[in-house]
A and B are shown apart, each in its own frame.
Chain A
Amino acid sequence: MAQAIDTTYENAVARRRNLRKLWLAFLLFPAMAILLTFVFLPMASAVWYSVYDWDGLVRGEFVGLANFQEVLFDARNNKFLINAFFNNVKVFIALMIVQNGLALTLALLLAREPKGYRFYQIAFFLPVILSTVIIGFQWKLFLNPIFGLVNTLLRNVGLGDWAMPWLGLPETALGSMILVNAWHWVGFPTLVFLAAIHRIPKDLIEAARLDGASEWMIARDIIWPLMAPAVTIIVVLTFIGSFNWFEIPYIMGGLEGAPAYSTDMLGLLFYRTAFGSVSAGNSDFGTGSALAVLIFIFIFTFSTIATRYLTSREVELS
């Protein structure tokens, strides 16, 4: 008799557990369906496309890794690939220093809650919510060598010699775009850093202050290591953003990375290769997809390694 009761009890528990699993599956279904349709499927299809020969948009025969070979080793393509890749690298390094460095400085300043810091916080964040397309066009106008605000200002303050066709010179075009991007996005890492700094218990800062640490030492020895999780996020996002950089260079320098490919990016190269452009030639889905797959593998691998490495130096705030 006792045994019988036991089994019923166990059955009931098991039934309940199954029901819960079913319920969880039901709740997960919409998210999984969306993920599958809009993330995994396109990724899989890019891999699929990349192993076929394409005549424009018509799929030809299976060619194995020939498209990859063409992208990586064909002299016609790989000089663009190398050029674009190193431009992306430059963008990443420059954004790390300029955008994130500035964001860290701003966050450290704002964390001390100077007069009107709420205003500054909003002011720095405002460009982030603006559309990248609008910002690209707006800055293209600002940087216009003749009518642009930047050169007009420089001339008005007696720095006319500095007035330059910023987007027209291979030496200044990429730098200008990087600064525009920094202007656009600096509020985001600032906010993330600021939140991370606010999460650090005030006591720790005060303890360090009593220990005799200067503001700089407090920033270096206490705040910086304790905001590691935020730094991880920002570094990885900056990395991904830098290697997927598209809108700003597309709007401000065009599909060909003008002038003279000095602002060419992997994203632009992919677009030109896969979809073609009015003057640059016809679309080729095969090599385009191969390039997309390579970019994906590169970004995925490096951001995974970076995340692992950076996470290992994080400390939980108890």
Chain B
Amino acid sequence: MATIELRDVTKDFGGVQVIHGANLSIEDNEFVVFVGPSGCGKSTLLRLLSGLEELSSGEIHIDGERVDHLPPARRGLAMVFQSYALYPHMTVFQNMSYALKVAKKSKQEIEAKVHAAAEILQLTELLDRKPKALSGGQRQRVAIGRAIVRDPKVFLFDEPLSNLDAKLRVQMRIELTNLHQQLQSTMIYVTHDQVEAMTMADKIVVMRNGHIEQVGAPLELFNKPVNKFVAGFIGSPAMNFFQGKIISANEGAYEAQLDNGAQFKFKTKAGLLNAEDKIDLGVRPEDLQPNQDGSGKIVGKATAVERLGAQTYVYLSSPIKESMIIHHAGDLDVQSGEEIEVSFNLESCHLFGPDEQRIEFDG
């Protein structure tokens, strides 16, 4: 149970800066997910927190106490590795008790803690086995168990589910969420999978190229992405973007034209945009609906249709945009190769200016 604060944290490896001044506050008992494409610095940020890497500059505070000068073990953190990092020559019990042994805890205390954790994780039967004799999911649980017995203030997870198959992944996702409820401690979780982020997080930290792009609750990010990158990254399937430009700007009243010729008007703060500015209009697949009655704004050819029963995905190709995707709840009577028309409501769209930052519609 702890609050964490990062202040202007930077990290460079041999002159290459990989974290650019990260600032972040994490509340007590929060489940925070760092998400972003590979190479965005999310794992590095986690390792900086853990103490496995040293900061280049900046400060880290846990519970108000500055910790960035402390060795990993003294920060009160436990980490679950992507590879699980179980000690192969030790039994499950030994793996889970190693930290306690190192801390010179009494035998009774070690026994009690390991058994309690094993109980939670249903590992009691496996305590005498070596990691080699465990399945992937069991190993995963041992790795978590090893973290639990230490009673850490903060749990760190580095892509812990990426080595599991899809079904197990979903199951573990739920188990981890439950575990969080049960343990009531701060957890930081790194993943590149935005579905994991959306389903598990109290707070998502979206990262790109060593920058924190946006921090917020999952739905906040989904509904109000601060920039084009976050908009494209959060949500599955990804948002469709249409390019266009401002054709007139007048005291907060603007007129824009998309590349397909469609024009629309909107209002926002005066001076935000100028004529000839390039804009992107983002439309989520579920907001792009087939216009059965023919009043649609975009005409495209269905290149592929995926029918999942409860929903249908249609991949469209049109002269203005090579590929877009629409998500329709329920079945949709479209065949691959057919031409269809789609339309969207401007209110449900996301507008991004020439600097790719979000522009809020005003009224």
Contacts and interface: CB of A to CB of B under 8 A. Distances in A.
Q: Do chains A and B touch in the complex (CB under 8 A)?
A: yes
A316 B133 CA distance: 12
Interface in A200-227: 201, 203-204, 206-213, 217, 221-222, 225-226
Interface stretch (B81-89, B236-244, B259-267, B306-314): B81-89
Contacts of B225: none
A268 to B, nearest CB: 41
A317 interface: yes
A148 to B, nearest CB: 46
Nearest to A204: B85
B98 interface: yes
- Where chain A touches its partner, the secondary structure class is helix
Contacts, number: 64
Contact of A206 (B85, B98, B102, B103): B85
Interface string A50-73: 000000000000000000000000
Contacts of A222: 87
A315 B51 CA distance: 29
A211 B99 CA distance: 4
Contacts of A226: 88-89
A207 B89 contact: no
Interface string B81-122: 111010111000000001100110000000000000000000
B72 interface: yes
A3 interface: no
A208 B71 CA distance: 12
Interface residues of A, number: 20
A318 interface: yes
A217 B99 CA distance: 11
B72 A203 contact: no
B102 A203 contact: no
A317 B132 CA distance: 9
A206 B52 contact: yes
A206 B82 CA distance: 12
Contact of A318 (B74, B77, B82, B132): B132
A36 B329 CA distance: 77
Contact of A213 (B78, B88, B89, B102): B102
Contacts of B50: 210
A103 B82 CA distance: 32
Contacts of B131: 318
Closest 7 A/B residue pairs (Cβ)? A212-B73, A203-B85, A211-B99, A207-B85, A315-B89, A225-B89, A212-B102
Given A207-B81, A207-B146, 9 more contacts: A201-B83, A203-B83, A206-B81, A206-B85, A208-B87, A210-B52, A210-B78, A211-B102, A212-B99
